[in-house]
């Protein structure tokens, strides 16, 4: 039986919904926004039914507060409102709600939406709770300690004493997470991470590095190798648990985005020819998603600087070299990222679930890779690279995000 927090200021409406759902779910009732916020923090419900016209804290603000709260950010929210104005649904979704129902409420529709979001939430929890975690650690004592810790968190640990043993395991099965010690014999954790990233079956699996090395250069090497997180020893047990949960949530989010991307028309992300409209539409959709769920988002804009010297050899030859560079970029980014050619000299990468530390690593990696392509290796042209990160209150829509990336190029951000 799921717990549902009902935040509704009208007593009659609360009674009607409780009457409809009692016996099927546990209903927690709040009559205003402040009480709803307190009860949500006390009870951590499985789903929230949220009236938007609330006293003290209105539903729009409350939804944004839930999305910004680590413990409540993933809880589904269904907005309930008597408003039926055009644009209200989009406004509710942008505030952080997952869905929207107009009053008077259709009983069947409400039940269907509750069942859908509870089932989705349960799949997410089950996926996280039964996660298989591969631990690669040459110390027997440390392996056993990590095993006990992971079991206490509710995960299924697979223990490997060497990189070779871990690579043998992933030939047979793909785990949900890797935890790698950096100082392994024969092949260290950095190289093992690179090997994991090179395999199609494990390219998208989160990797956490554990090391006694706390220097910035070591952390940079780890992230450049493809690691998603880096924790120094000795570590706090609660910190380890929270970081593992964050990586598994990210993995689930990546899976959701991948499924959504598979449902898009095949022609939407394109590098075969310029398609600014599709690029700007995708960037707008991802900005809305980032605002709605309070999630990170970045974009990278690439421009061929001094392209005129290359075009003198013929437009067909230049286009072939440009396509070669685009395909090289496509091979380096994730399946959930979007790559678009904007015009003859520019292309755009949209990176969901990517904040500033991660996008800087991606920019460095792609910049070095592009210099090795035929388009730039002769030295006649250079790749100009600008990036921008979605930020609440400063960069709040697709056009300001793109403009910020372009301004970085204009300020002289050129690789090589």
Task: For 71-92, write each residue's pLDDT tens digit.
Answer: 787 789 999 987 656 666 777 8
What's residue 258's pLDDT?
A: 65
Inter-residue contact 323 to 276 (CB < 8 Å): no
Two structure tokens written together for 348 = 């755009």
- pLDDT at 405 exceeding the cut of 50: yes
Nearest to 346 by CA among 325, 377, 372: 325
Distance (Å, whole) CA 245 – CA 266: 33
User: Which residue did the predictor score with more confidence, 272 or 76?
Assistant: 76
Mean pLDDT across 380-400: 80
Q: Which of 44-53, 128-137, 257-266, 395-404 has the lowest mean pLDDT?
A: 257-266
User: Is the model's pTM score more than 0.85?
Assistant: no
Mean pLDDT across 264-268: 46
What's residue 187's pLDDT?
A: 93
- Domains assigned to the chain: 3-126 (3.40.50.2300), 130-254 (3.40.50.2300), 265-410 (3.30.70.270)
Inter-residue contact 340 to 274 (CB < 8 Å): no
Task: For 353-384, write each residue's pLDDT tens digit.
Answer: 888 888 988 898 888 888 888 888 777 788 88
What's residue 272's pLDDT?
A: 60
Angle (nearest 5°) at CA 395 between 390 and 398: 75
Maximum alpha-carbon separation in the chain: 76
- pLDDT at 124 exceeding the cut of 80: no
Task: For 184-243, write each residue's pLDDT tens digit.
Answer: 988 999 999 999 988 888 888 999 999 888 788 888 888 888 888 999 988 888 889 888
Distances (CA, A) of 279 to 39, 119, 204, 273, 275: 42, 33, 23, 12, 6
Q: What is the arrangement of strands in the sheet containing 47-51, beginning at the earlier edge strand?
A: 26-30, 3-7, 47-51, 77-81, 99-102
- What per-residue string of b and e applies to 220-252 under the rule 16 or more CB within 10 Å gives b? ebbbbbbbbbbbeeeeeeeebbebbeebbbbbb
Mean pLDDT across 130-139: 89
Residues above pLDDT 90, as percent of the chain: 28
* Averaged pLDDT score across all residues of the chain: 84
- pLDDT at 127 exceeding the cut of 60: no
What's residue 84's pLDDT?
A: 59
User: Which residue did the predictor score with more confidence, 331 or 267?
Assistant: 331
Length of the chain: 416
Distance (Å, whole) CA 355 – CA 353: 7
Banded pLDDT at 269 (limits 50, 70, 90): very low
User: Which residue did the predictor score with more confidence, 252 or 136?
Assistant: 136
Nearest to 149 by CA among 70, 71, 238: 238
Residue with tokens 């640990």: 157
Two structure tokens written together for 323 = 């396509």
Distance (Å, whole) CA 274 – CA 326: 12
What's residue 268's pLDDT?
A: 42
What's residue 295's pLDDT?
A: 80
Mean pLDDT across 135-141: 91
Mean pLDDT across 321-327: 89
Two structure tokens written together for 362 = 């991606």
Neighbours of 90 (CB within 10 A): 12
What's residue 265's pLDDT?
A: 52
Task: For 149-176, write each residue's pLDDT tens digit.
Answer: 888 888 888 899 999 999 988 888 889 9
Per DSSP (E only), the strands in 36-192 are 47-51, 77-81, 99-102, 132-136, 156-160, 177-181
What DSSP string describes 1-25?
Answer: --EEEEE-S-HHHHHHHHHHHBTTB
User: Which residue did the predictor score with more confidence, 23 or 30?
Assistant: 30
What's residue 129's pLDDT?
A: 54
What's residue 7's pLDDT?
A: 97
């Amino acid at each position: 039986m799921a717990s549902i927090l009902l935040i509704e200021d009208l007593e009659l409406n609360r009674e009607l919904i409780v009457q409809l759902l009692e016996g099927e779910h546990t209903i927690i009732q709040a009559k205003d926004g402040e009480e709803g916020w307190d009860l949500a923090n006390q009870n951590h419900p499985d789903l929230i039914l949220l009236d938007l016209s609330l006293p003290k804290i209105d539903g729009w603000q409350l939804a944004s507060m839930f999305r910004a709260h680590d413990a409540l950010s993933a809880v589904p929210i269904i907005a309930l409102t008597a408003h039926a104005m055009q644009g209200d649904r989009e406004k509710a979704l942008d505030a952080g709600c997952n869905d929207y129902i107009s009053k008077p409420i259709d009983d069947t529709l409400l039940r269907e939406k509750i069942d859908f979001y509870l089932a989705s939430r349960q799949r997410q929890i089950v996926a996280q709770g039964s996660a298989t975690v591969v631990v690669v650690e040459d110390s027997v004592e440390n392996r056993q300690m990590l095993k006990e810790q992971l079991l206490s968190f509710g995960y299924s640990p697979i223990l490997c004493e060497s990189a070779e043993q871990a690579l043998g395991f992933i030939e047979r099965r793909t785990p949900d997470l890797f935890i790698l010690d950096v100082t392994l014999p024969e092949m260290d954790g950095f190289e093992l991470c690179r090997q994991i990233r090179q395999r199609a079956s494990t390219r998208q699996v989160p990797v956490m590095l554990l090391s006694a090395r706390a220097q910035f250069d070591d952390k940079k090497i780890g992230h450049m190798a493809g690691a998603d997180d880096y924790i120094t020893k000795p570590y706090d047990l609660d910190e380890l648990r929270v970081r593992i949960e964050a990586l598994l949530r990210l993995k689930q989010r990546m899976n959701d985005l991948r499924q959504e991307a598979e449902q898009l028309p095949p022609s939407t992300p394109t590098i075969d020819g310029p398609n600014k409209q599709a690029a700007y539409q995708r960037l707008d959709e991802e900005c809305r998603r980032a605002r709605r769920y309070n999630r990170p988002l970045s974009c990278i804009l690439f421009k061929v600087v001094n392209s005129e010297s290359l075009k003198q050899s013929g437009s067909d030859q230049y286009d072939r070299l440009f396509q070669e560079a685009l395909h090289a970029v496509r091979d380096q980014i994730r399946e959930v990222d979007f790559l678009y050619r904007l015009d003859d000299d520019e292309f755009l990468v949209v990176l969901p679930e990517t904040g500033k530390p991660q996008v800087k690593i991606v920019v460095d990696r792609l910049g070095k890779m592009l210099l090795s392509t035929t388009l730039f290796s002769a030295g006649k042209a250079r790749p100009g690279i600008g990036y921008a990160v979605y930020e609440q209150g400063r960069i709040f829509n697709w056009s300001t995000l793109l403009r910020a990336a372009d301004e970085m190029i204009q300020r002289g951000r050129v690789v090589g």
